[in-house]
């Protein structure tokens, strides 16, 4: 009886304590905890180590992590995957004096086990719902596997396809990139942080990492503040407005100051002007790398500069672990600065509910239910289909009839499995890649009993061995139609994968030239993580489909498009150059004082003597199996003040015989301003579904925000004057035009 009384008293006490804790605000609970922490324990929260089994950066030898965790000297780990492993490390953390749980972060860039198209491919879908769904599924699977935090979305604008990391982002356009940043943050974080199927998002890499000189990864970035504010910062601001819980800084120096030591970026803009209350994690070792930058004398100086600049957590450089205590003792760093960083991190741990239950995300039952479940697989296939871009379809070879007798499926990409995940796939060692649907399997799943599918590899991706051509030609000659799948290897785009030449490697184009001689109808699939240069194919092959790297349902999605079960709707999120010599090349360029009127008009004009200025394929370009007619453009007003807006309506008709989706793009041109303005800027778009023969009226609103820009003094606002309004199917396929005026 006595024991029962005691257990009742104890459970009432615990209940009251939990209740009182929950009644306290998170900030009060953070402050209570902070008061109990030693300086070493505080610095421990600013320290993040990787799991050595899955490195995503140069290995930094470190002391015994288990011991450090038990002493409360580590606040977070990355690259720890799965319920078992995260539990193991969390149990160690609960042996520490204050039992502060670890945060587990991972690059869940486009899927955990169910893998979606690489982000640049998803951007080609221009389907914000689909993109949000992709991030949602990634969060549902990762959060069931012990992960609290994904290092995504990467929101770096880039105009340089030599930079391998374009595959992780949303391309060259600030408006599209900002919308996609919002969709991805919302997808990852769900309705509220702390919900079991949500993870913290991490907007990265702050900032302007995509403008590395020469497209060479980790290289310097030098740009005007106006360019920074106008083009590179808005997607980050969009991420803050969408509630991104964390940021990650970038490796590059920006105008001479490494981002991780850049007070202007991290304190003045992010934590100051934008009032960001999450925390900033350094990119892998970037604090210590300030020594190589020549910005810090040594590790101690690096730690000093980083903590003052607003880098809250040190990923993998050991600079904070080894130096902050001494810097505080020497009064070079105030405890308040340390406390601010610790508060930001603890606040997120409380928001995630980790103090109530440190194991709540490490749930093997949920993990089993979530990973690669049918609903996720279906979503992956849909998003992949939407991401495919039809570049050419002359002679109407596509969609293929399901009665075609013999298909020759040729090329080095046809039977690859893991490659379809692209560079940033979560390497789930214990899970084999059998669930990934190769292009070959996708075709087999699709064709009927009466269709024969023949295969030949033809050649490798990188080597110059043409001995496989003979077999490929034999297969082609036995076929009614040939599908050939080529491209760059899946790990030729991604981190530290810049290419000076972005051609199709090896002898793959030669293979196609030989196949063309057979006279067979040929469909070319190009797999890549970036825009490539493939002029001969583009000029000589009638049917070309850009299939990027589409994730675990790649094969099924490609087959859906090839056989018309999904009518391709993708539009390029980046400009495709004719040659590397045109880079940087992007659609929203300035006009210059000597614009060329046409390709021959280059005498004393801004052009090249050896190539046109125009791209091979422009931003916003992509074909469909059907046609869309644009008509009936109406503006509610043609003169507005900056307090008013214009309602723009237009009709779009599917005049073909296939149901399909179209991305209707709205561009404006500010004809003149106190600073030069781009020849056109994307300011809105709508992706709509139209049945064959169907017409819809679309409405767009042009408000002052869309007419505003940063002037010379970095003031954001609009200026009176005339504007061109353009609506089209691509940045260089404008179907409807009008003008309007902004008046004082």
Binding map of ligand GLC across residues 58-87, x = CB under 6 A, - = no contact: --------------------x---------
Q: Which of residues 256-285 bind ligand GLC (CB under 6 A)?
A: 283-284
Minimum CB distance to ligand GLC smaller for 165 or for 683: 165
Minimum CB distance to ligand GLC smaller for 201 or for 585: 201
Smallest gap, in angstroms, from Cβ of residue 167 to ligand GLC? 12
List, in sequence order, the alpha helices (H) in 460-591: 469-477, 508-516, 535-540, 554-562
Regarding 521 and contact with ligand GLC (CB under 6 A), the answer is no
Which of 41, 68, 107, 289 lies at the binding interface for ligand GLC (CB under 6 A)? 107
Minimum CB distance to ligand GLC smaller for 549 or for 628: 549
Q: Which of residues 118-157 bind ligand GLC (CB under 6 A)?
A: 151
**CB < 8 Å & 24+ apart, contacts of 27-31:** 27/343, 27/347, 29/350, 29/355, 30/343, 30/346, 30/347, 30/350, 31/343
Question: Do 436 and 372 meet the contact criterion of CB atoms below 8 Å apart?
Answer: no
Regarding 322 and contact with ligand GLC (CB under 6 A), the answer is no
| 194: DSSP letter | T
Minimum CB distance to ligand GLC smaller for 126 or for 206: 206
CB neighbourhood size of 433 (10 A): 16
Residue 557 and residue 125: Cα distance in Å, rounded? 13
Residue with tokens 């001494």: 326
The strand pairing partners of 646, in sequence order, are 702
Smallest gap, in angstroms, from Cβ of residue 666 to ligand GLC? 32
Minimum CB distance to ligand GLC smaller for 284 or for 548: 284
Smallest gap, in angstroms, from Cβ of residue 86 to ligand GLC? 16
C-alpha torsion sign, points 107, 240, 620, 656: positive
CB neighbourhood size of 451 (10 A): 18
Smallest gap, in angstroms, from Cβ of residue 281 to ligand GLC? 9
Smallest gap, in angstroms, from Cβ of residue 57 to ligand GLC? 4
| Tokens at 336, concatenated | 């308040």
Minimum CB distance to ligand GLC smaller for 426 or for 726: 426
Which of 136, 204, 321, 348 lies at the binding interface for ligand GLC (CB under 6 A)? 204
Residue 302 and residue 327: Cα distance in Å, rounded? 11
How far apart, in Å, do the first and last CA atoms of the chain sit?
84
- SS3 state at 16: helix
Smallest gap, in angstroms, from Cβ of residue 482 to ligand GLC? 39
Minimum CB distance to ligand GLC smaller for 265 or for 391: 265
Which residue among 127, 160, 217, 283 is the active-site one? 283
Q: How distant is the alpha carbon of residue 344 from its chain centre?
A: 25
Minimum CB distance to ligand GLC smaller for 54 or for 695: 54
Smallest gap, in angstroms, from Cβ of residue 549 to ligand GLC? 17
CB neighbourhood size of 328 (10 A): 18
Active site residue 684: no
Minimum CB distance to ligand GLC smaller for 111 or for 577: 111
Smallest gap, in angstroms, from Cβ of residue 204 to ligand GLC? 6
Residue 89 and residue 65: Cα distance in Å, rounded? 10
Binding map of ligand GLC across residues 32-61, x = CB under 6 A, - = no contact: ------------------------xx----
The strand pairing partners of 390, in sequence order, are 545, 623
Which residues touch 611 (CB under 8 Å, ≥6 apart)? Answer: 578, 579, 581, 582
Query: Rounded to 5 degrees, what are φ and ψ at 628?
Result: -125, 130
List, in sequence order, the alpha helices (H) in 222-294: 225-227, 234-241, 263, 290-293
Minimum CB distance to ligand GLC smaller for 57 or for 194: 57
Residue 679 and residue 589: Cα distance in Å, rounded? 6
Residue with tokens 């075709």: 443
Residue 254 and residue 270: Cα distance in Å, rounded? 15
H or E segment and range at residue 225: helix 225-227
Smallest gap, in angstroms, from Cβ of residue 283 to ligand GLC? 5
CB neighbourhood size of 135 (10 A): 30
Residue 72 and residue 74: Cα distance in Å, rounded? 6
List, in sequence order, the alpha helices (H) in 319-402: 319-329, 335-351, 364-370, 374-387
Closest to 245 (Cα-Cα) out of 151, 157, 156: 151
Smallest gap, in angstroms, from Cβ of residue 393 to ligand GLC? 36
Question: Do 59 and 29 meet the contact criterion of CB atoms below 8 Å apart?
Answer: no
Q: How many residues bind ligand GLC (CB under 6 A)?
A: 9
Angle (nearest 5°) at CA 319 between 316 and 322? 115
Smallest gap, in angstroms, from Cβ of residue 47 to ligand GLC? 15
Regarding 495 and contact with ligand GLC (CB under 6 A), the answer is yes
- SS3 state at 351: helix
SS3 of 709-726: the string is EECCCCCEECCCEEEEEE
Minimum CB distance to ligand GLC smaller for 48 or for 125: 48
Positions in the binding site for ligand GLC (CB under 6 A): 56-57, 78, 107, 151, 204, 283-284, 495
- The residues annotated as belonging to the active site are 283
């Amino acid at each position: 009886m006595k024991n029962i009384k005691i257990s009742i008293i104890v459970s009432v006490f615990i209940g009251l304590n939990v209740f009182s804790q929950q009644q306290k605000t998170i900030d009060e609970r953070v402050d209570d905890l902070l008061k109990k922490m030693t300086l070493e324990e505080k610095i421990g929260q600013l320290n993040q180590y990787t799991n050595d089994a899955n490195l995503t950066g140069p290995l930094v030898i470190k002391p015994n992590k288990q011991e450090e965790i038990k002493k409360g000297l580590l606040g977070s780990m990355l690259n720890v995957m799965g319920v078992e492993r995260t539990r193991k490390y969390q149990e160690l953390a609960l042996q520490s004096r204050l039992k502060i749980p670890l945060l587990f972060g991972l690059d869940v860039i486009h899927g955990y086990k169910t893998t979606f198209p690489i982000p640049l491919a998803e951007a080609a879908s221009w389907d914000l719902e689909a993109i949000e769904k992709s991030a949602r599924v990634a969060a549902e699977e990762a959060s069931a596997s012990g992960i609290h935090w994904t290092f995504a979305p990467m929101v770096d604008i880039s105009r340089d396809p030599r930079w391998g990391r374009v595959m992780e982002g949303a391309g060259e356009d600030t408006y599209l990139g900002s919308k996609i940043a919002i969709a991805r943050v919302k997808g990852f974080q769900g309705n509220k942080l702390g919900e079991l199927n949500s993870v913290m998002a991490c907007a990265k890499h702050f900032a302007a990492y995509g403008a590395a000189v020469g497209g060479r990864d980790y290289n310097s970035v030098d740009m005007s503040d106006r360019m920074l504010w106008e083009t590179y910062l808005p997607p980050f601001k969009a991420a803050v407005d969408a509630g991104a819980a964390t940021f990650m800084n970038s490796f590059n120096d920006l105008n001479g100051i490494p981002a991780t030591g850049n007070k202007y970026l991290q304190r003045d803009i992010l934590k100051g002007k934008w009032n960001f209350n999450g925390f900033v994690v350094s990119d892998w070792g970037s604090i210590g790398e300030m020594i190589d930058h020549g910005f810090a004398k040594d590790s101690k100086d690096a730690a000093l500069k980083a903590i003052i600049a607003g880098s809250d957590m040190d990923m993998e450089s050991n600079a904070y672990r080894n130096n902050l205590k001494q810097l505080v003792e020497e009064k070079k760093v105030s405890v308040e600065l340390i406390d601010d960083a610790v508060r930001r991190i603890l606040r997120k741990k409380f928001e995630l509910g980790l103090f109530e239950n440190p194991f709540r995300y490490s749930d093997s039952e949920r993990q089993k239910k979530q990973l690669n479940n049918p609903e996720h697989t279906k979503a992956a296939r849909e998003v992949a289909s939407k991401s495919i871009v039809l570049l050419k379809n002359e002679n109407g070879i596509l969609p293929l009839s399901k009665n075609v007798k013999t298909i020759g499926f040729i090329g080095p990409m046809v039977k690859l499995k893991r490659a379809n995940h692209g560079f940033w796939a979560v390497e789930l060692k214990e899970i084999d890649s059998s669930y990934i649907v190769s292009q070959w399997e996708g075709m087999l799943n699709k064709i009927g009993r009466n269709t024969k599918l023949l295969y030949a590899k033809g050649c490798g991706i990188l080597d110059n061995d043409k001995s496989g051509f003979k077999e490929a030609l034999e297969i082609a000659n036995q076929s009614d139609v040939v599908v050939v799948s080529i491209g760059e290897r899946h790990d030729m785009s991604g981190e530290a994968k810049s290419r000076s030449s972005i051609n199709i490697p090896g002898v793959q184009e030669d293979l196609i030239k030989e196949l063309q001689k057979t006279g067979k109808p040929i469909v070319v699939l190009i797999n890549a993580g970036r825009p490539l240069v493939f002029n001969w194919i583009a000029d000589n092959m009638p049917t070309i489909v850009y299939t990027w790297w589409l994730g675990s349902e790649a094969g099924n999605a490609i087959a859906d498009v090839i056989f018309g079960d999904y009518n391709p709707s993708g539009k390029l999120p980046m400009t495709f150059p004719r040659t590397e010599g045109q880079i940087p090349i992007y659609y929203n360029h300035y006009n210059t004082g000597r614009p060329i009127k046409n390709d021959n008009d280059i005498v004393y004009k801004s052009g090249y003597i050896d190539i046109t200025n125009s791209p091979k394929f422009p931003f916003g370009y992509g074909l469909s199996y059907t046609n869309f007619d644009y008509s009936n453009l109406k503006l509610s007003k043609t003169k507005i003040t900056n307090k008013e807006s214009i309602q723009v309506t237009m009709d779009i008709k599917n005049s073909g015989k296939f149901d399909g989706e179209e991305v209707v793009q709205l561009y404006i041109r500010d004809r003149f301003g106190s600073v030069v303005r781009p020849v056109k800027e994307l300011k809105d778009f709508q992706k709509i579904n139209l049945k064959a023969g169907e017409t819809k009226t679309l409405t767009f609103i042009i408000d002052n925000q869309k007419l505003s820009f940063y002037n010379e003094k970095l003031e954001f606002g609009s200026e009176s004057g005339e504007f061109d309004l353009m609506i089209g199917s691509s940045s260089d396929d404008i179907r409807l035009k009008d003008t309007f005026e902004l008046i004082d």
